[in-house]
Each structure stands twice: as structure tokens, then as C-alpha cells.
Amino acid sequence: MERISIGVWSFGMGTDRYVGNGYKPYINFFERLDRISAIQGAKGIEITYPNDVNFDNLAKVKEELKARNLRVVSVGIEHVCDGEWQFGSFSAEDPERRKKSIELACQGMHLAHELGAGVINLWLGQDGFDYVFQSDYQKAWNYLVEGIRECADHRPEINIGIEYKTSEPKLNCLVNSGGKALALALATGRKNVGITLDVGHAFNARENPAEIASILLAEKRLFHLHLNDNYGLADDDMPVGSVHWPQFFELFYWLNKLNYTGWYSLDLYPYRDDSTEACNVSIEFMEKIHKQVSDPSFEKELQVNRQGAPSKPLHWLIGKALK
């Protein structure tokens, strides 16, 4: 696989709601670049603006990336992990908050252009509600559509990937499913607004990632991909294939068959695991299943085993994996 990237947050401290100082020592951005560049198969990174990279350190970051033969593939815009966004960003009632949200995203698009990244990522985890009767749903939706449309028009050559999630930090996120994210993208009327499919978020939404990826590819709206795993109850960001390995076989099969040309980006959060090892086992798993589903014989065998009992393809896949 040639297009594997890693989010720099995968080498964070592993903080959670119980251990606020994390389980690991802090390492700075450039140390994280060192560790990612040492991982076999990793060619790209994801960063956030303005926390990781901004216009003050941009020149140095460019030098360090070149020295490590890494490229930025996506720029996440920070609209979540700061108390100022507690009442929302694009959908906030406060017009100044909405204005700042748009300005921040537009600045991030400029930064993405400078770094050669073709997409920014919008995870709007603070846009939503905790209680019934807390939100004016139609007004919030219109604010989202209008604000993201304004960003799209600002730099049409940069794609905007909407990363949906059922909940967190808000207990109910406004953009909480693949279908709603697609509806939002289409409502903007802009071709450079699409979706970042986080596979773990799809599991949380009780979606089949292969199915939603196929639909997004049919609409030409699958702009980016975050790979991780979980038990379906929370966004655990575990190594790829830890739980849902058959679903990853199917996802990679359809991504290959439908000619997905984007990056396969690891979005991991190994609280107590070694981050490098979590990335290594994920990449090893991904490369093995990608090789299998790309083999013409896989397609031939799959077609044969689709005939008969509905469970036959899965039983065949289990047998093949256990050989």
C-alpha cells in the first residue's frame, strides 16, 4: 500500500476522563514526526490547525517534513478541544462564534494549500445538544449549511471533509451519521464538500463501513478515510482489525473495486499501548488484507461463494483467514 498516513495525535499522552495527565509522557510535535517517519509504510501525516501547525511555525515544519520524507495529507481544524466551543462552532447561536468558526476553517484551507494537502477535516463534535428542547434543529442545520458553503467558496481547490460522529463531546452531535453528513454536503451545493469516513464512528452509528463507503464513492464525496476499531459502544480508536476484522476485509475489497484514490489514515489513540506498535500492527493487518482483496483470485472465489447460503461468503472468508 502506497497511501498510508498517521495522525500525529496517535502519539499523544493518552489522557482520558479519569487520568487527566495521561498514561504516557508528553512528546513534542517534531519528536512525533521522528517516530512516524520510522514506521515502515507510513508516507503521510495528519495534523491539526492551529495547535500542531500554524503560520508561525509553518516554515520550520516544511523543513522538518522534507527532511523526514513525509507529507501532510489532511489538516484538521480545531473546533472541539477548547472550552470556547462549548456552545458550538458553525451552528452556534452567537454570530461571533460562527464567524470565528468560518475564519478558522478558511485559514486552515490556506495552510493546507501551503503544505500541499488537498483536504481539510471538520469534526464538529461541539455542534449538537445534550438535552431535548435545547436546540433549534432547523436553525442549527441552516447555520451549518451556510457556514460550510462559505468556506467551500473561499478556496474551491481545497476539499472539505465532514467527519461525522454520533456523540462526543456533545451527547448528541448534529452530524451523526454517514447519511446526514452526505445530506449536509449535498445541501451546500458545492463539489468540494464531502465526507471523512471514520470507520470507528461508522461502527458507533451501527453502520457497515463498506456500505457507506460505497455510497459516498458513488456520489464522489468520499474525500478521506480514518481507520481504527472499537467495540461499538465508544470511540476507542483501537488498532485496525482488533474487533471487526471481517468488516475491514469487506471495506478494503470495495475501496479497491471502486477505485478509491485517497489516503488510508490511521486515527489511533492507544491509551496504554505503545503507539509505534499500535501503528505497526495496524499497517501489517491493512497490507495483508489489501493484498488479498486485490488478488484477482479473491474476486473469483468470492463470486463462487456468494452462491448458496447467505452465510457462505463469511464462512469462506473465515476459512481463508485461518489457513
| All domains of the chain in start order, with CATH | 4-295 (3.20.20.150)
Where do we find the cell 482488533? 242
For the ranges 16-30, 211-225, 302-316, the lowest mean pLDDT is seen at 302-316
3-state secondary structure 289-311: HHHHHHCHHHHHHHHHHCCCCCC
Residue 265 φ/ψ, nearest 5 degrees: -105, 125
What tens digit of pLDDT does each residue of 102-145 get?
Answer: 999 999 999 999 999 999 999 999 999 999 999 999 999 999 99
Residue 306: pLDDT over 90: no
Mean pLDDT of the chain: 97
What does 166-193 look like in DSSP terms, one character per residue? S-SSSSEESS-SHHHHHHHHHHHT-TTE
Predicted pLDDT at 31:
98
Q: Given this model, what pLDDT does residue 215 score?
A: 98
